């Protein structure tokens, strides 16, 4: 469910994670027509086409909520639950790694403040897959 997209995440970079997210989303779209998936999920057709192609670079700016809507099709779990599960998993990893939002903001490539990281993790603002990959990689790096 994105947070477990890599079987062995040790040493994973944000690019590795984004590639893994892209592969997971590509599998979720499968051989289905991107236009049909877009219609079904409410996700922009160009985004679904990028997911189908496994184009990690194009997916960096895709919102977690859109990824969750597509994953719902194969996971048989509501998109809302997928979104919350990913965010909850990140917060649990923060506790394990003993990291606060200000430290995360200072250490990741994404241009986010501590407050924006907190809001993204709480679901009060958008969280893109690129930002997710940046945060996730840092948490993997810092976890004992």
Beta bridge partners of 63: 128
Q: How many CB atoms within 10 Å of residue 130?
A: 22
Report the alpha-carbon distance of residue 118 to residue 12 in Å, rounded: 23
Residues 113-140 pLDDT 10s: 999 999 999 999 999 999 999 999 999 9
In the chain, domain spans: 1-144
Its pTM stands at 0.95
Report the alpha-carbon distance of residue 107 to residue 45 in Å, rounded: 33
- Which position has the token pair 């603002």? 125
Residues 27-71 pLDDT 10s: 999 999 999 999 999 999 999 999 999 999 999 999 999 999 999
- Helices 64-75 and 34-41: crossing angle in degrees, nearest 10, is 100
């Amino acid at each position: 469910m994105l947070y477990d997209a890599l079987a062995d995440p040790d040493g994973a970079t944000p690019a590795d994670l984004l590639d893994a997210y892209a592969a997971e989303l590509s599998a979720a779209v499968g051989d289905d027509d991107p236009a049909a998936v877009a219609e079904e999920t409410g996700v922009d057709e160009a985004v679904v086409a990028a997911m189908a192609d496994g184009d990690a670079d194009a997916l960096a700016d895709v919102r977690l909520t859109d990824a969750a809507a597509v994953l719902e099709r194969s996971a048989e779990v509501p998109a809302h639950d997928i979104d919350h599960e990913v965010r909850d998993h990140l917060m649990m990893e923060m506790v394990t790694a003993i990291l606060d939002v200000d430290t995360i903001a200072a250490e990741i490539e994404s241009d986010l403040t501590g407050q924006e990281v907190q809001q993204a993790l709480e679901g009060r603002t958008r969280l893109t897959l690129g930002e997710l990959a940046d945060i996730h990689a840092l948490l993997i790096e810092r976890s004992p």
